[in-house]
Amino acid sequence: MLQVRNISFGYRKSLVLDALSFQVNPGENLAIIGESGSGKSTLLKLLYGEFDLNEGHIFWNNKEILGPKFNLVIGYDFMKYVAQEFDLMPFISVEENIGKFLSNFFPEEKQERISELLDVVELTAFAKTKLKTLSGGQKQRVALARAIAKQPEIILLDEPFSHIDNFKKQSLRRNVFKYLKDKHITCIVATHDKEDVLGIADQMLVLNKTGIEAYDTPENLYKNPETPLIASFFGEFSIINDAIIYAHQIQLVERSDLKATVIKSYFKGYYYLIEADSNGKNVFFEHPKRLKIGLKVCLNITK
């Protein structure tokens, strides 16, 4: 189990993270979300032991994760970390990069393992390609494969699919997270993409300025977003009579007390997101058709 106990950290005087505590069970997937600059990457680096904490302790099972002041070589065998800026070897092939830390003692097993990993990150066709000729997204996939190659007990992923195009992202995401679940590898992933969280994460930690805004299952946080910050992660919403209402929870009706004037319709695929003005406040709702600017509508909320 990963235990984070009352940790505080700042690069300079002001704290980036102030008195955080949480736990992650073995084999669980925890998503860390929060606005850019909220400290997601910093938190992952602290979990990896890259910096010394100002206060607090981090444990993986009974082992304390220590920073550079107490640990000569950063990192631990049971843990892998894929940074936002991944460092790979440019002049060797994709398969050599992936197998970099695998033992040469059993060459057949090593080759099998590399094939399996190439399959997970969908790079089989590029096995012999020199790394430096790959795109940013392909490199990111090599970094992922290399990190899971030795089956760590826990893996820390920082925006793991940020360089990967939408065509590849969906299947790759499913492959990687399924692989980690199947092998019972604890996974902590910092992301701003709700697709990395919904249907994948067991728990979700929402960071605000210096602390934890919420820590719960994605389902509970989605159904009961207690703050606008939490709701904003999941989609468009309005605040009506102090309640957070998602756009899909508002429908157009013949008559109601909630009246609004259409400002703009945004094409979203199978629906339009309609932005409207209700008594000087913005209201967002979904509708199957584009609505004319200036149209007066009556709205109904169904939660």
CB-based contact 296:261 (threshold 8 Å): yes
- Nearest distance, CB of residue 179 and ligand ADP, angstroms: 24
SS3 assignment, position 266? strand
Of 4, 16, 148, 164, the one binding ligand ADP (CB under 6 A) is 16
Under the binding rule (CB under 5 A), the answer on residue 41 touching Mg ion is: yes
Of 20, 29, 41, 49, the one binding ligand ADP (CB under 6 A) is 41
Cα–Cα distance measured from residue 2 to residue 30, given in angstroms and rounded to the nearest whole number: 11
Token output for 50: 């890259």
Q: Burial level of 211, CB count in 10 A (0-12/13-18/19+)?
A: middle
∠ CA 60-158-58, nearest 5°, is 20
Q: Write out the DSSP string of 145-203.
A: HHHHTT--SEEEEESTTTTS-HHHHHHHHHHHHHHHHHTT-EEEEE-S-GGGTTTT-SE
Nearer to ligand ADP, 10 or 137 (CB): 10
Under the binding rule (CB under 6 A), the answer on residue 42 touching ligand ADP is: yes
- Select the span of 34-42, 122-130, 193-201, 284-292 touching ligand ADP (CB under 6 A): 34-42
Under the binding rule (CB under 6 A), the answer on residue 38 touching ligand ADP is: yes
Nearer to Mg ion, 41 or 186 (CB): 41
- Nearest distance, CB of residue 17 and ligand ADP, angstroms: 8
Token output for 98: 């992936």
Under the binding rule (CB under 6 A), the answer on residue 40 touching ligand ADP is: yes
- Select the span of 36-44, 143-151, 163-171, 242-250 touching ligand ADP (CB under 6 A): 36-44
Cα–Cα distance measured from residue 141 to residue 124, given in angstroms and rounded to the nearest whole number: 11
Position closest to Mg ion via CB:
41
Nearer to ligand ADP, 35 or 202 (CB): 35
Half-sphere exposure of 39 (CA within 13 A, CB side): 24
Binding flags for Mg ion, 187-226, as an x/- string (CB under 5 A): ----------------------------------------
End-to-end, the C-alpha distance of the chain in Å comes to 37
In single-letter form, the type of residue at position 77 comes to D
- Nearest distance, CB of residue 183 and Mg ion, angstroms: 26
- Nearest distance, CB of residue 188 and ligand ADP, angstroms: 13
User: What are the φ and ψ backbone dihedral angles of 113, each rounded to 5 degrees?
Assistant: -60, -45
Nearer to Mg ion, 206 or 247 (CB): 206
Nearer to Mg ion, 41 or 238 (CB): 41
| Footprint of Mg ion (CB under 5 A) | 40-41
| Footprint of ligand ADP (CB under 6 A) | 11, 16, 34, 36-42
